[in-house]
Amino acid sequence: MLRRACHAVGARLSSRGAGTGGDAGLTLVEVMISIAIIGTVMTSLTMFFSGTMTTTGYENTRQTAVQLAGAAIEKARSMSPTAIVGGRTLADSTAAWNSPATGAAPYLADMTMVYDDGAVPGVPASPPPYWLPAAGTTVTLKNGSSSGPPIDYSEDWYIGRCYLPAAGGACAKAKLAGSVEMLRVVVAINWTSRACAASNCSYVTSTLVSSDSNPTFPAAGS
């Protein structure tokens, strides 16, 4: 479109020059129309490139979020059920459960909250590197090139009990005859990007771990 507009302006100049000895030029109206066309095209191109950069940036941050969630799931799978629940106090677990991170709520509806009744508030489980904090944590990473601004990713863990039907199917909150008790570990990664609704992006995943220990399961509604 831009090339077409320039060609039209050039043709106009040529026709005027050929007919009047080269003394004629564009009228003010023609100049204004040409500027308007060029401005519209340039605005469209700017919006296109801006949208492309936003989408590319989002895909980069989402890939990082997926990697963080994957590492978190592998960490949980490498731990015993006791260690998974260890250090998660009733107060912190309840607070996290009542105000879940974006995207986590649907996962919590199908399980019952689990916490460590031996945990002391403010004192992490031993050894500290291997517990999954109920209060969540924040990981700050560079986005793309080293000159790019750092991105804060919030990492929240939710641990609950659900029952896996003997005949197969999804792990559910209700205990059916023959079902197997499991621990569900939910990991929610949230970060900020203009590409997401209200600039709040999220990636949530979960895994099931066989429950072969005795963590505390609060009664429904507590």
Q: Given this model, what pLDDT does residue 37 score?
A: 79
Q: Which two tokens stand for residue 6?
A: 């320039």
Residue 219 placed within a domain: no
Structural domain boundaries enclosing 77: 44-210
Closest CA to 183 of 215, 157, 161: 161
Q: What is the pLDDT of residue 124?
A: 58
The gap from C-alpha 82 to its chain's centroid, in whole angstroms, comes to 29
Number of domains in the chain: 1
pTM: 0.69
Relative to beta strand 180-192, strand 137-142 is unpaired
Q: Is residue 29 part of a domain?
A: no
Assigned domain for 86 exists: yes
31 falls within a domain: no
| Residue 20 located in a structural domain | no
In a domain, 120, yes or no: yes
d(CA 189, CA 80): 23
Residue 23 included in any domain: no
Residue 9: the pLDDT is: 47
Which parts of the chain register pLDDT below 50? 1-2, 5-6, 9, 13, 17-23, 145-146, 215-222
Other beta carbons within 10 angstroms of residue 186's beta carbon come to: 25
Between the alpha carbon of residue 51 and those of residues 34, 56, 58, 119, the distances in Å are 26, 9, 11, 48
Q: Scan for tokens 């996962």, then name that residue.
A: 107
Tens of pLDDT, residue by residue over 40-78, are 767 765 665 555 555 566 788 888 899 999 999 998 888
Closest CA to 56 of 148, 154, 139, 138: 148
Residue 5, in any domain of the structure: no
Q: What is the structure's pLDDT at 147? A: 58
Question: How much is the pLDDT for 163?
Answer: 94
